[in-house]
Structure 1
């Protein structure tokens, strides 16, 4: 491995790694770059030899689902469906030399060799090399737009003495609102309901710094208006992240929590499953924009792209769907 001290001096402190969104994402890199990747001096590990082994341990018995274990009262149709499912799983997990596979995992050092330990994998049916060509076109764009750009810490605007910066205070409030909604498993809410939660109100009522041109007399801007405006801005931040949404264009309509809206999850999953049965989507899956269009037609025309991205990520984390390539999804 390279040990140029000048490169380590410019390395980002490990405490700040989590601020880079690429840190918590699966990076799609060339094998050459994985071999030449510099290991962190802050978190030392054994040097590798440059050999990339893709390992995936599988118990042969785990790949077999014996039908003999079924209840004798099960119908023959159910047994037949289980048999077909078993055959499909075996077909996708049985690998031979020359097969094209998609692997997701993490890099580790084992016995002084650098390996990619697979967490998920499946065989790709790519007789026309369309998937491989798509990846070849996708990677240069990722490198140009993401990987080759150094991560820069966000610059925070200075706050006036005695007050918090307006942007940071709204961000803190939005995070607290998000935590409150998820911890209490709230599915829908009105803004007025949040304004009755004491710990959230205490955050919303904190003074914020403003420029001289934005200073308002306290008599014309009572605390209740400040709290109401703070909650409105915090909810707007959550909407921009796709964490909450409204099914209509009315600002007074109820807000839905994306993580808890099982109807939206089921509609989205149903769209992916139904379209993946069609021949034109069977190989590489459904494109994001197609899924968004179908869900808008059957669920809500005001659904934003960020909400749709969030829902698809949730379904993928639950192993209901898998992303076959950039912007394409397929149901299991």
Structure 2
């Protein structure tokens, strides 16, 4: 039986997983994200019911320590040191309810439930909550700088079957458009204005690897229409990332650059400041969806979640607000 390729369109091919440096590192994630992870459909998953043959199995408590060349006095000192080490290990691994634990392991499915199979763990002595506070400050930065950014396949990566480049020219054009907008501090623009920028037009007019049917359809189209379509798709990519947006649902409306829209920044900051003064938000701040709802009411009802995430991340980088916990923000 053959697999349905439509199931895997949203996934990166498994042969390219190793190109992402995060793939081979221990990721520090929120428990909620671990529980909501989507499993890959490209490779089989071991459910833990298989048997792995062992060459040798021995209880470490029954292991005999044999160190030749040591005199009696030296071996007794070593035995005492080993005893202290075992007591320390036992103290670190003896857990009680309420203990703070550092855990490293891998995720597996057992009896249709997702769990973390710990390979290393120990109890953390943290009476002043310094370790926990450090972790709370570290995680938002990791998410913002690493986990929330989509992995970009290197240009030299091989092409996928069917002649479609994994990093398409549309993705490359969208990155160049983004760089052009930010470098020139452009606040608003129309698509037609981008189509007058020579270096962007030359990039948009480059041939794109397509399937045979797409090539046949494009032969009858003039180059100007193909360039116009390329810019439209590139802007759509930037909209999905929250880099640009429109205040109405008209495709002919002007595009706003999220990083340069000071009015949107001020409205968002004003919402967070005003609501954090209220008693129900004073402790943990305002939730993302509440902020989005308020900004939509006072700025634009067509504002997307990605744009709102982009603005909140920008305000946090500028130290105007701080994320107190997952999805909650508070103004200074």
- Shorter-chain TM-score range: 0.5 to 0.7
CA distance in 1, matches of 2:78, 2:256: 37
Aligned length: 332
Q: Secondary structure at the match of 2:218?
A: coil
User: CA offsets per residue over residues 28-50 of structure 1, 9 Å max, x none?
Assistant: 56999999999999999999999
Residues 1:52 and 1:318: Cα distance change in structure 2 (over 3 Å): farther
Residues 1:162 and 1:42: Cα distance change in structure 2 (over 3 Å): closer
Identify which range, 270-279 or 112-121, moves more after superposition: 112-121
Structure 1 segments (4+ residues) deviating >4 Å: 1-164
Deviation of the 1:220 alpha carbon: 2.2
Structure 1 unmatched ranges of 5 or more: none
Q: Secondary structure at the match of 2:74?
A: coil
Q: Residue 268 of structure 1 corresponds to which residue in structure 2?
A: 268
- CA contact 1:242–1:307 (8 Å) conserved in 2: yes
Residues 1:208 and 1:271: Cα distance change in structure 2 (over 3 Å): same
CA distance in 2, matches of 1:133, 1:271: 26
1:151 and 2:151 matched: yes
Rg larger for: 2
Structure 2 unmatched ranges of 5 or more: none
Q: Residue 222 of structure 1 corresponds to which residue in structure 2?
A: 222
CA distance in 2, matches of 1:115, 1:33: 12
Identify which range, 118-127 or 206-215, moves more after superposition: 118-127
Identify which range, 253-262 or 145-154, moves more after superposition: 145-154
Deviation of the 1:215 alpha carbon: 1.9
Residues 1:2 and 1:165: Cα distance change in structure 2 (over 3 Å): closer
- CA contact 1:188–1:255 (8 Å) conserved in 2: yes
- CA contact 1:48–1:112 (8 Å) conserved in 2: no
Deviation of the 1:131 alpha carbon: 15
Identify which range, 157-166 or 284-293, moves more after superposition: 157-166
Normalising by the residue count of structure 1, what TM-score does the alignment of the two structures yield? Answer: 0.56
Query: What RMSD in Å do the two structures reach over aligned CA positions?
Result: 16.1
Structure 2 matches for 1:188-227, cutoff 5 A?
Answer: 188-216=188-216, 220-227=220-227
- CA contact 2:162–2:211 (8 Å) conserved in 1: no
CA distance in 2, matches of 1:279, 1:78: 61
Q: Secondary structure at the match of 2:79?
A: helix
- CA contact 1:159–1:209 (8 Å) conserved in 2: no
Identify which range, 214-223 or 32-41, moves more after superposition: 32-41
CA distance in 1, matches of 2:303, 2:80: 39
CA distance in 2, matches of 1:267, 1:61: 64
User: CA offsets per residue over residues 149-205 of structure 1, 9 Å max, x none?
Assistant: 999979999659999738510010000000000000000000000000000000000
